[in-house]
Structures are given as structure tokens and as C-alpha cells.
Structure 1
Amino acid sequence: MYIPHTEEDIRKMLSAIGFESISKLYEAATGLHPESEGSFDVPPAMDIIKLTKHLEKLSERNQSFSSVCFLGGGVYDHFVHPATMELLSRAEFLTCYTPYQPEASQGTLQYIFEFQTMAASLLGLDVANASMYDGASAAAEAALMAMRITKREKIAVSSALHPEYRQTIETYVRGSAKNILQIDFDGKTGATSLKSLRDSIDENVAAVIVGYPNFFGVIEDLEEIAKEIHQKGGLLITATTEGVSLGILEPPGRLGADIAVCEGLSLGLPMSFGGPGVGLFACRAGFEKQMPGRLVGRTIDADGKTAYVLTLAMREQHIRRERATSNICTNQSLCALAVAIHLSLLGPIGLKNQALLSANKSRSLFSKLISTGHFEPAFLGPVFNEKVMKVKGFEPEKLIELLSKKGFLVGPSLKKWYPELHDSIIICATERAGDEEISRLCECIKEIYK
């Protein structure tokens, strides 16, 4: 049943954020007083023909990029098999909701089971769930899961983990974790500092969370990090933003990770301004009862035939609230299906070849950028397909803006999250980056510097 906020609830919430009334909040957000007549310049209604023409005119303001983009930092321009979206558009999949009735949902349950199998294989762990909202929320749920398993209330997070993942973790664990420790990154390699790790963790830390690769594109030494946290009785959690990297990198579970999550946007979904994505979530055997979300299993029915069922559902709608592991109310079923279709079409060898091609294209890009004389690597650590580059003699934000106007997407700038890297940007190349596009980007940069 929906219970609205009382006047006292509203007063407390407004007081917490420093406003006297809802009107003051709206006014601060919009610059307009909601009760003033004529404040909002809303045009009169249009008929469908005029509205269509108006929208077409607005669409002309969109920039069209003829080249492959070179964006990094969490969203990547990867190849998506054309059959993926075609199959995804079938009417049977338009209402991918929770399969509460297995006798009527065998198709849905089977593809979720196949998705789980693929996720467990990619991440190198024993059990994977039916998917999470995205990589960031999956990382946050992993932190809460580690606290439940270890009965500890501290979390250590690498400062080289994606900043938005760190923000999401802080939001999720607020009220559960007594302390979130920040582990410094090594200024030379860009990897998590092992010295800072050793100095920060103790027997009260539930888990260490690192990126694999991290936000700077650097491939972390998971075995060494796992050794340090396991000696203290804690767990290692890895978060992968670039799923294609797992086509050639050793799975995190084989390197000591106890829980591993991954953003699936690179694995069969379009960039779409950054989403929607899908979170892959896997853990070691024995931890599955503390997993968030749901788990689909395979069994045998009364006639001896293979059947799929909802094996585990630890959300608060299914069991007693105090025993629930999470209040996540769904899985990203349609996006998970896209990942399952895409990976089925590529296969292990296809994904490996895609990852190798992406890595090789990025090496070509980095080499040519350095040869312009206007860039140098900010870190020396090994990378997959993206790298932090120092921009010489130019404001990174201005360079990004000028390249955008010429049809190239690069970045992001790191100034927003790391003031000490105010002169640096992330740049990436995937398998979609042609040699001609890479050369044109470098020539364009040379022209800007003239």
C-alpha cells in the first residue's frame, strides 16, 4: 500500500537539505517561482502535423559524427551484432518480467539461466545471479554482501575505481558501513597502491573493492591485492566497466576475487547516452545465499524433462524483510537477454578476437597521439584499450570541445574527479576505430595546435 509523506516528513526532508518550503526548493532548482503567473513560457498545444515538423527541426540541432568515437571512462563504442537487436525486438520478449510461474515461463527462465552461465564463466566464479541494474549498483550490492558474509562494517575502496561507482557505493552503504576507507593509487603506475592498501586495512575491513581494469584503464594486480585482504580475513571485490576486456584478461575469480561484478553495456548493448546497462554479478560457492536479486536453476520435472525454475529469491517481497539480502525488485532481463544473444553469436573465440582487435587499435592510437608531441602517458601501468594522457599546452576541456566540433569524441577530462590530473584526459579505441579515423584524429589535433 502506498503511504504518502506526512507534513512532518516533508518538513524534516526540506530541513535536511536547507529549504523552508517546496516552493523554495523548486525556485532554487529552476530559477522560477512555481506560484507566479506567466513564469513558465509554455507554447500552445500543436496538432500532430505541426508537432512532427517541430520535432524534426529540433533534431537538426543534433550533431552527427561520421567517425568512430574515442570515448573511454565507462561507456565504449563496441560492435553489436545486428541479429541481437533484431531478436530482442520479438514480441515474446517485450514483457520480460519476473517468471513467477515456471510452467508458463520456461523460455524466459532458460535464457536467464544461460546468461548466468555466461556471467559465471566470464568472471571465473561459481555462481552468478540473474543480473543487476548496472555495474555501479552491482558493486554497491557486492559491498553490502561482503559485510553480511564477514560480519564486518568497514569497506576499503580504491581511489582508482570509477568515481561514479564510488559515489554509488557510498550512497548504498550509508547507514550500514561504519567507515569507507579510500585506498590511494600509485602516481607512477596508476594502479592501486599496495603500500596504501597495507596501511589502511585491518581485521575490521569486510572487503577491498578495485576496478579490473580500473578507471585509468590500468590492469590491477589482483593476486597481490587478494593476498593482502585475505590475510586480514576480508574479501576481494572487483568491478569491471569494460566487459570486452574479459575476452583476453584472466577472469578475476581465478586471480583471487571472491565477488566480481561487471557492466554489460559493452557486451551487446548500444551506447545510448550511457544506458541502460546491465550488471553481471558472480561469487564463490557458499556465498550464494547472501547474493542480492534472484537465481535461476535447472532441474528435472515430473516427466523427467529438463526444466528451469526460480531457485533463489532473497528480496524483501519474497521473504521476511529482516532476512532479505536486498530490496532490488527486478533484474535487467531484456538487457541481460541482449548480452546472452550477443555472446552466443560471438562465442568465446569471437569475444577474444574482438578484445584483441580493440587492444591493438588502442596501441596504434596511443602511439600516434604521442608522436604528435602533444600528449604523454600519465601512468606506466599496463592497460587494455584506454589510457590516461597528459595534454601538453592546452586545456583538456577546450581540446575536447574543439574536437567535438570537428566530429571527434574524446575524453572525459579527469579534472572533475582528480584535481591532481587536471591536465589529463582518458582516450580509448575499440575494434570500430579504423586506421583512417585514427590518422584523421591525429591530423585534426595537429591543426588545432597550429
Structure 2
Amino acid sequence: MPHQWIPNSSDEIKLEMLRELGFSNLGSLFASAIGASSEVEIPSGLSEMEVLLELKETLSMNRHIDPRKYFVGGIPRFCYVPAAVDELASRQEFYTSYTQYQPEVSQGALQALFEYQSLICELTGMDVANASMYDYTTATAEALLMSARVTRRREVVVVSPISEELRSVIETYLEPTGIVLREVMCDLETGSIPQDRLEQAISEDTAALFFENPAFTGVIYSDPEMLVEAAHRKGALAVVGVDLISLALIKPPSEYGADIVTGEAQPLGNYPALGGVLAGILACRWDDKLIWQ
């Protein structure tokens, strides 16, 4: 189709140019340019299904992680993501590159945040949940800083073992503030901690006791109340790191007295993608001192 801004674009002018060069069509021009004896082997076009099959065959030669044989541990991890999640996440009501400054044009995103916060409170049993942190590690570090501000104390106790990533982030957050990090080791098989060892680890200057349930080793504490009560006896807060999926089966932290709960939202509906996409959980009981933080 000729275009008014593109010269020599009409079919008549193109044909006249070819005749001037001694050719009847574009095919004969290209054949002359590359040589009559040269044949370019271009396969015929493929249907959409054939293209997908060919791509899958090519991609099958790549090495990939089988979710059933993934023993590295920690987060992120593979989980089932319903197809509806991908569809809803791509809708304009939720997916935007703009920060949600104007509530009158951000009702979809605000509704999604409300549903998310309500779900976190329902799972953890806590009264208040924020709209997420960077990830589990930063949420936990912020919870410990929050505990130090509320109690005005300069020490936190962590029940080990925990992942190296979590320990590294906690140390990074605490070091500039001068808050001391202490660790108390639990039994790797049972997750139990002798009462006397726990009592010695928690002092009058302890702002918070942090433990994971399930623990990093996979152990589920049979008596998490003992840990929480030990912290409360010394005036410290109990911060619990949880696996949100596990809360469908085990009792929530609210039932054994946790003050602050942290966790990772990625297993709720995000795929592992080069270390992301992550969202940290931070929830707490209804207490003015905690909510103001």
C-alpha cells in the first residue's frame, strides 16, 4: 500500500524500477543478488502448536531443578500456584507500575491489600498485619528492632539453628544500633531446650526472644508456650517466625502467646525466580506500643 510520506512506495513505481533493472519481480532480483545456484533453505511456516512443541523440545535440553528433588532448604521454595493467581495478578486492577498514591483510582490494589492483611491475621491469629516487608529476613530483623524500641532494652536472644541468610540480615540490622545478638542452641532432633539453659540465656536486658516454629531443621515445637513464657517472665517480647502453609495444620502463634509474628509470603502464590519475588510477613497483637511502631 503506497504511503504519502514514503517515496516510491506504490506498486506501479516498484514495478517500473524492477523493469529498469531488467527484472520482472522481487524474487528474480534476490535470486540474481545471491546467485542463481545458491538456495536458502528456509523451512515452511509452523502452526502455533508446532512452534510450542519445537520450543519445548529445545528447552528440554536445559538442566532444571526438579521440585521433588530440591533439598537446599530455606526460602524461596517451589509450591503449587493455582492458575487463577496468574490471571488475577495480570489484571489492570492489581498490576501497575505506579505507586498507589490515589485511593480513588487504586480500589483494586487497596482491596487486594485488605484481603491479604485479613488472611495473614486469620492464619497467624494476630490482630494487626502490615502490607508486607521486603522478605522474611528483613521482617524478622525489623521485629527485633521494634522489640528493642518498645522495651528500651539492648539485647535479643535467637533460638538456633537458623539459616545463614537470616542470621546475616539480623546482624546487619542490629550492628549499627549496638543491640547485642545472643543465641541459644536447641536440640537438633527434638527442638527442645533445657529450661535452665533458656532461663540463663534470657536476661533483664533482653528485648525479645526469637524462635521459628517449625524450626529451621523442620522440627515442630511440642511446647512453644514454654519459650514464650520464659521470655515474658523476664519482660521480653516473644517473636515467632512461622511457615504460613504449616498454620493450616498446627496451632497459630496467637494460641501460645506470641507478641510479634514474621514469615514469608512467597509460598502463598509466587514462583521462585532468581531469589524472588518475596514478601515479608509482619503481624502483632493489639497493643498500642506495638502498633505505633
The normalised TM-score by structure 1 is 0.49
1:119-198 matches, cutoff 5 A: 119-198=120-199
Q: What is the match of residue 62 of structure 1?
A: 62
1:48-447 matches, cutoff 5 A: 62-64=62-64, 68-71=68-71, 72-95=73-96, 97-220=98-221, 221-240=223-242, 242-286=243-287, 287-290=290-293
Alpha-carbon distance change, 193 to 78 in structure 1, aligned in 2, over 3 angstroms: farther
Deviations 1:342-385 (A, max 9, x none): xxxxxxxxxxxxxxxxxxxxxxxxxxxxxxxxxxxxxxxxxxxx
Rounded to whole Å, the distance in 2 between the matches of 1:211 and 1:117 is 22
Alpha-carbon distance change, 86 to 217 in structure 1, aligned in 2, over 3 angstroms: same
Rounded to whole Å, the distance in 1 between the matches of 2:264 and 2:278 is 7
**What secondary structure is seen at the aligned counterpart in 2 of 1:158?**
strand
Unaligned ranges ≥5, structure 2: 1-55
Alpha-carbon distance change, 237 to 177 in structure 1, aligned in 2, over 3 angstroms: farther
Deviation, structure 1 residue 65: 5.1
Deviation, structure 1 residue 124: 1.0
Rounded to whole Å, the distance in 1 between the matches of 2:195 and 2:163 is 18
Alpha-carbon distance change, 274 to 67 in structure 1, aligned in 2, over 3 angstroms: closer
Q: What is the match of residue 6 of structure 1?
A: none
Quick check: 1:142–1:237 contact (8 Å CA) kept in 2? Answer: yes
Q: What is the match of residue 42 of structure 2?
A: none
Deviation, structure 1 residue 195: 3.5
Rounded to whole Å, the distance in 2 between the matches of 1:131 and 1:179 is 26
Rounded to whole Å, the distance in 1 between the matches of 2:132 and 2:251 is 21
**What secondary structure is seen at the aligned counterpart in 2 of 1:282?**
strand
Rounded to whole Å, the distance in 2 between the matches of 1:207 and 1:65 is 38
Deviation, structure 1 residue 193: 4.9
Length, aligned pairs only: 235
Quick check: 1:261–1:282 contact (8 Å CA) kept in 2? Answer: yes
Rounded to whole Å, the distance in 2 between the matches of 1:67 and 1:104 is 40
Deviation, structure 1 residue 59: 6.6
1:7-86 matches, cutoff 5 A: 62-64=62-64, 68-71=68-71, 72-86=73-87
Quick check: 1:212–1:238 contact (8 Å CA) kept in 2? Answer: yes
Rounded to whole Å, the distance in 1 between the matches of 2:220 and 2:67 is 28
Identity %: 39
Alpha-carbon distance change, 64 to 167 in structure 1, aligned in 2, over 3 angstroms: closer
Q: What is the match of residue 387 of structure 1?
A: none
Rounded to whole Å, the distance in 1 between the matches of 2:162 and 2:195 is 14
Deviation, structure 1 residue 273: 4.0
Quick check: 1:136–1:165 contact (8 Å CA) kept in 2? Answer: yes
**What secondary structure is seen at the aligned counterpart in 1 of 2:263?**
strand
Alpha-carbon distance change, 106 to 235 in structure 1, aligned in 2, over 3 angstroms: same
Deviation, structure 1 residue 92: 3.5
Quick check: 1:253–1:259 contact (8 Å CA) kept in 2? Answer: no
Deviations 1:59-94 (A, max 9, x none): 777314567334333333221111101211123433
Alpha-carbon distance change, 59 to 109 in structure 1, aligned in 2, over 3 angstroms: same
Deviates more, 1:270-279 or 1:190-199: 190-199
Quick check: 2:94–2:108 contact (8 Å CA) kept in 1? Answer: no
**What secondary structure is seen at the aligned counterpart in 1 of 2:238?**
strand
Rounded to whole Å, the distance in 1 between the matches of 2:106 and 2:235 is 41
Alpha-carbon distance change, 63 to 193 in structure 1, aligned in 2, over 3 angstroms: farther
Alpha-carbon distance change, 124 to 232 in structure 1, aligned in 2, over 3 angstroms: same
Quick check: 1:120–1:126 contact (8 Å CA) kept in 2? Answer: yes
Alpha-carbon distance change, 187 to 218 in structure 1, aligned in 2, over 3 angstroms: closer
Unaligned ranges ≥5, structure 1: 1-55, 291-450
Deviations 1:134-161 (A, max 9, x none): 1111000100110111111101111123
Deviation, structure 1 residue 225: 0.4
Rounded to whole Å, the distance in 1 between the matches of 2:197 and 2:80 is 38
Quick check: 2:93–2:106 contact (8 Å CA) kept in 1? Answer: no
**What secondary structure is seen at the aligned counterpart in 1 of 2:227?**
helix
**What secondary structure is seen at the aligned counterpart in 1 of 2:68?**
coil
Rounded to whole Å, the distance in 1 between the matches of 2:98 and 2:156 is 33
Rounded to whole Å, the distance in 2 between the matches of 1:67 and 1:285 is 39
Rounded to whole Å, the distance in 2 between the matches of 1:111 and 1:187 is 39
